[in-house]
Structure 1
Amino acid sequence: MNVLLYAPPLLLLMLKAMNIYGVISALACAALVQILAGLPFLVSHPIAYISRAFNLGRVFIHFWSVNFKFIPEPVFVSKQFAISLLIAHLGLLATFAHYKWCRHEGGLFKFLHSKVTSALSSSSSSGLKILKEEHIMTTLFAGNFIGIVCARSLHYQFYSWYFYSLPYLLWKTHFPTSLRLILFVGVEFCWNVYPSNNYSSALLLCLHLLILWGLWSAQSEYPYVEEKLSTRKKEK
């Protein structure tokens, strides 16, 4: 399930680094691998395999929730709450993509328009670009973190989804080092409260939102390596 949180930022990075035809080819290869890996189950029990392997509608137990324990259980298990979190998730992804990750391309919509226009044109250019490692990590980790913030229920084992990226994300913010350490220790503390309670889950959500705000207010790095090098060559 955690891999799905990386899918939107990964798709955006692929569109930045390749042309549309290259992205489609890569996605087709990835889909083929998934089909081949699940072929024995697809042949024997196709309906059970697909419904269980990609069960996105299941409701977790309120008692084990680490991040939304303070929400009343009737609200927690309601479809309206799930839809609200999904809308928030998609909205945050679109906002970060438009104003942060595609800032140097003129925004998400201008970037997508340029990719479609390039694909429909008769240009023979490959459209391949080299992305900076820092931009790749920031986009992937931030996209995953947005999914963590908007997840309806985080159980204790789900901490492994993002704990390794927390130091990097914290040091991408403009916060002073002391606040970064406090936020890191605070998140660790909330995950070590067992069982979680209203106060620990509310505190965890507040810490997540503060980190998210730090990422939002941080300066966007230049995403490309190739264009920067070519510009320097022209200047020489």
Structure 2
Amino acid sequence: MAYRSRSAKEELKEAMAVQSAAKDKPSHGSMFSIHKISKTPIVAFAFALLLIDALLVALIIAYVPYTKIDWDAYMSQVSGFLEGERDYGNLRGDTGPLVYPAGFLYIYSAIQFLTGGEVFPAQILFGILYVLNLGIVLFIYVKTDVLPWWALSLLCISKRVHSIFVLRLFNDCFAMTLLHAAVASFLYQKWHLGLIIFSGAVSIKMNVLLYAPSLLLLMLKAMDIAGVFSALAGAALVQILLGLPFLLAHPIAYISRAFNLGRVFIHFWSVNFKFVPEPVFVSKKFAVSLLITHLILLAVFAHYRWCKHEGGLLNFLHSRFVPMKLEGVISSSFSLKHFHNRHSNFKFLNKEHIVTTMFVGNFIGILCARSLHYQFYSWYFYSLPYLLWKTSFPTLLRVMLFIVVEFCWNVFPSNTYSSALLLCAHSAMLWGLWTAPPQYPYVDAKTLTKNKKK
């Protein structure tokens, strides 16, 4: 289906229909009312899973010994910051120099204040964070309705992920919780709010940027160019404000350490590509080849999958960046009413398309990452069931692939065979996603009106 640009009149009609639908939305009752839960088995099952997993987390904290890895280093780095140090080159811990953006320092400073630097109360906080994150993820799954109800239980059975949250206390947990909150915002077309939350996640750990190419494509679909730039400006402002104390004092040290894209991880701790000899693993050629593969896969998926209904990536980009008519430019520049109503011209994206594009884009980054440490499993674990059910594989094969991935992440230390098996499982999943039929990305006014009235 080739992409066809619509006239301003047609877009205005659709916008008016959307606004009318919003006005007709019933005001009584809560989204999570008892009545709705009783009529929606998948919602009731999701709540049951949340309660059961909360109990499991409490038992893990109470009876499973804590494993010290990065906590002391985090506390040392935070202590230096609280004592007035603003040079990132001087903020260090047991594991080396601080390599995370400023949001990390603010989060863990608050944790240190609340817990006094003690592990047990911090575990309780992370247990609450785990339940909150799971609740957001379940919300996303229920809204997209891709999985059968029983498959939601896969989100609660990972030994490694429970360990990452409540036995290791990694900063990845905060970054991914904010990322999932941003995705939940995008489901309601709250692009500016979602991008601010997304930027907050990036300020804790840079792995969140793996979602950025997919997110930019979705924003170009959902908003006009001015809206995209204003959303990006809001995200940039978050980074500037959070990093301001360090940018004013030692800007080069902050930028070079907090946003270092050239870090080389230790071969021994990597879960993936362990079968690659260490001299090759740490080489620049290997890193560049993986980066090129990453970019090619993103471009191919964007052209043939995510923008298929718009006639391909190049045709879509051309349609978005083609110069506007002089009349439209003058109107957008001088008409306050037009500026005020710009947001009504947004194109509403299908929730499933939003989540699929975000999760697949991140998964491609995971597949091409040179090194994945054990805590990095949290970067994509919560998307695994969704991605598997987006393939056309039989249910048994989906479950088997999930088990294989979980098994590989629980082999310690990783070895040649577990690493090769993980790559095979990832490659099979990517092939399944490639061969699955693409979904139409937009929601028309009639469908939106119908969904609003439900």
TM class by shorter chain equals over 0.9
Q: Give the alignment partner of residue 210 of structure 1, picking from 423, 428, 431.
A: 428
**2:207, 2:287 → 1: CA distance?**
17
2:377 maps to 159
Q: CA deviation at 1:29?
A: 1.1
Verify: 1:36 aligned to 2:241, yes or no: yes
Q: Which amino acid aligns with 2:225?
A: I
2:294 maps to 89
**1:17, 1:201 → 2: CA distance?**
39
TM-score (structure 2 length as normaliser):
0.49
Cα distance change on mapping 1:122 and 1:185 into 2, 3 Å: farther
1:27 maps to 232
Q: CA deviation at 1:118?
A: 5.4
Q: Which amino acid aligns with 2:317?
A: L
2:437 maps to 219
Q: Which amino acid aligns with 1:21?
A: A
Of all paired residues, the percent bearing the same amino acid is 74
2:276 maps to 71
**1:158, 1:150 → 2: CA distance?**
13
Q: Deviations over 1:211-231 (max 9, x none)?
A: 00000000111100036749x
Cα distance change on mapping 1:98 and 1:163 into 2, 3 Å: same
**1:70, 1:12 → 2: CA distance?**
34
**2:326, 2:280 → 1: CA distance?**
50
Q: CA deviation at 1:128?
A: 1.6
1:110 maps to 315
Cα distance change on mapping 1:83 and 1:119 into 2, 3 Å: farther
Q: Which amino acid aligns with 2:431?
A: W
1:47 maps to 252
Q: Which amino acid aligns with 2:390?
A: K
**1:13, 1:105 → 2: CA distance?**
13
TM-score (structure 1 length as normaliser):
0.94
Cα distance change on mapping 1:228 and 1:208 into 2, 3 Å: farther
Q: Which amino acid aligns with 1:105?
A: E
**1:192, 1:227 → 2: CA distance?**
47
> Which secondary structure state, in structure 1, belongs to the residue aligned with residue 322 of structure 2?
helix
1:182 maps to 400
Cα distance change on mapping 1:197 and 1:121 into 2, 3 Å: farther
Moved more, 29-38 or 219-228: 219-228
Q: Which has the higher contact order (CA 8 A, sep 6+)?
A: 1
Q: Deviations over 1:185-232 (max 9, x none)?
A: 0000000000000000000001000000000000111100036749x9
> Which secondary structure state, in structure 1, belongs to the residue aligned with residue 438 of structure 2?
coil
Q: CA deviation at 1:117?
A: 1.2
Q: Deviations over 1:170-193 (max 9, x none)?
A: 000000000000000000000000
Verify: 1:80 aligned to 2:298, yes or no: no
Q: Give the alignment partner of residue 3 of structure 1, picking from 194, 208, 218.
A: 208
Cα distance change on mapping 1:120 and 1:190 into 2, 3 Å: farther
**1:161, 1:132 → 2: CA distance?**
24
Cα distance change on mapping 1:120 and 1:32 into 2, 3 Å: farther
Cα distance change on mapping 1:115 and 1:141 into 2, 3 Å: same
**2:316, 2:324 → 1: CA distance?**
12
Q: Which amino acid aligns with 2:229?
A: I
Q: Which amino acid aligns with 2:384?
A: L
Structure 2 gaps, min length 5: 1-205, 332-337
**1:78, 1:119 → 2: CA distance?**
47
Q: Which amino acid aligns with 2:238?
A: V
Structure 1 gaps, min length 5: none
Q: Deviations over 1:125-184 (max 9, x none)?
A: 955200011000000000000000000000000000000000000000000000000000
> Which secondary structure state, in structure 2, belongs to the residue aligned with residue 55 of structure 1?
coil
Q: Give the alignment partner of residue 131 of structure 1, picking from 349, 374, 378.
A: 349
> Which secondary structure state, in structure 2, belongs to the residue aligned with residue 38 of structure 1?
helix
**1:70, 1:120 → 2: CA distance?**
56
**1:152, 1:183 → 2: CA distance?**
21
Contact 1:186 1:207 in 2 (8 A): yes
